[in-house]
Amino acid sequence: MKRAASVPARIVFPEGEDSRVLQAAVKAASAGICKALVLGRTKEIEALAIEKNLSLSGIQVIDPSESTWKKEFADLYYGLRRAKGVQYEEAQQLSEKPLNFGALMVKKRICDGMVAGATHTTADTLRSAIQIIGPKPDASLICSFFVMTLQQKEFGHDGSMIYADCGVVPYPSSAELAEIAVLSAQSARLFLEVEPCVALLSFSTKGSASHPAIEKVQKALFIIKAKAPNLIVDGELQADAALIPEIGHSKAPTSEVAGKANVLIFPNLDAGNIAYKLTERLAGATAIGPILQGLAMPVNDLSRGCSVDDIFYVTAITVIQASAVAR
C-alpha cells in the first residue's frame, strides 16, 4: 500500500456497475493509490453510489457508448483486428464493450493499467488484453503468478513467495516453463524486492526418478541457463527439497536453490492451482492474484468471487506494475 501510494497511477475499472468494483475503486482513490476511471452507464453507477453511500468525487465515470473517444477507439481497434477479418462496423461495436474499451484506454496510455474480471471470465479478460495491448517486446508468453504471504516466516522471503503459473498456461512446454520462470523472477524482484531464488518443481529431485515430465523440467532449466545465465535457478526439485534446508542439503547438496527457494515454478496448471489453494486453505496463507505477467502494459484478472478487499489489493499491485513500466 505504501509503495503504491508513492507512485499513484491511472487505473481503469471496466465493470463499474458491479458494487464491489465501485466500492474498491472509491477505496483505492481515497487511499491515494490510484486515479480511478470507472466504465459503465452513468445513471446506473450514480444510483449504485447512492445505494452504497459512496462519494464519486475524484472518480471519473465514463460511458463507452457516449465517450468522445468512440471514433478514435473504433479506428484503433479496426487497425489492430482487421487482419483477423474484423469489419469496421463490427469494430465499432466491439470497441465499446467495457473490457475492450478499458484495454484501448491502456493502449492509448490514457490509463496506466486495468483491473477486470469481477463479472467477466479469465478468458474474456485475457482476450482483450492480448488482442489490444499485447505482450511486451522481450516476452513470448502471457502467464500469471500469485504472491503468497505465509505465517511461517522461515519460508521464502520473510514468509512471502511467488507461485507460478497458477492461472493461465495449462501444460507449458519446456520453453514456456522457462519463460514463466524468467518472468516470475522479474516479478519477485519487483514485488518482494529480493533477489529471486527459483525452484523448478517436480516429483523428482535431481534424477531421483525418470519420466518425460521430468525431462521437460530439466530441458527448461537448460533453456533458462542460456537465456538468463545470472539467475539463481535449479531443478528438478521436489517441493520439500526446494523449501526445507535440511532436506535440500540431503537431496541436492550442490544446489544453490535447495532449501532457499522464494519462487516456485510448477510443472503445469493442475499442480500450481492446487498448490496455491492448499497453501491458502490449510496453511492460512494469503494468496494475492492471479497477477498477469508478460503484457506490455499491466492488466490484472480478478476472480468472479472476489471481495472489495481483493480488488483493492490487486489494484495496488497493478499500480506497482505500472510504475515499473514507466521506468
Specify the pTM.
0.86
CATH number of the domain to which 319 belongs? 3.40.50.10950
Same domain, 302 and 274: no
Same domain, 11 and 127: yes
What is the dihedral sign for C-alpha 58, 308, 12, 19?
A: negative
Same domain, 161 and 260: yes
- Dist CA 234 CA 220 (whole Å): 10
Task: Dig out the grid coordinates for 233 from the structure.
Answer: 535457478
Same domain, 88 and 123: yes
Same domain, 71 and 181: no
- Number of independent structural domains in the chain: 2
Same domain, 52 and 104: yes
Closest C-alpha to 327, from 190, 162, 141, 134? 190
- Dist CA 161 CA 201 (whole Å): 14
Same domain, 154 and 102: no
Same domain, 61 and 161: no
Q: Is 84 exposed, middle or buried (0-12, 13-18, 19+ CB in 10 A)?
A: exposed
- The domain containing residue 301 runs over which residues? 2-134+296-326
Residues 6+ apart with CB under 8 A from 28: 11, 34, 36, 312, 315, 316
CATH number of the domain to which 208 belongs? 3.40.50.10750
* The Cα angle at residue 303 between residues 302 and 308, in degrees rounded to 5: 70
Same domain, 25 and 123: yes
Span 243-295, pLDDT tens digits: 999 999 999 999 999 999 999 999 999 999 999 999 999 999 988 878 899 99
Span 95-149, pLDDT tens digits: 999 999 999 999 999 999 999 999 999 889 999 999 999 988 888 889 999 999 9
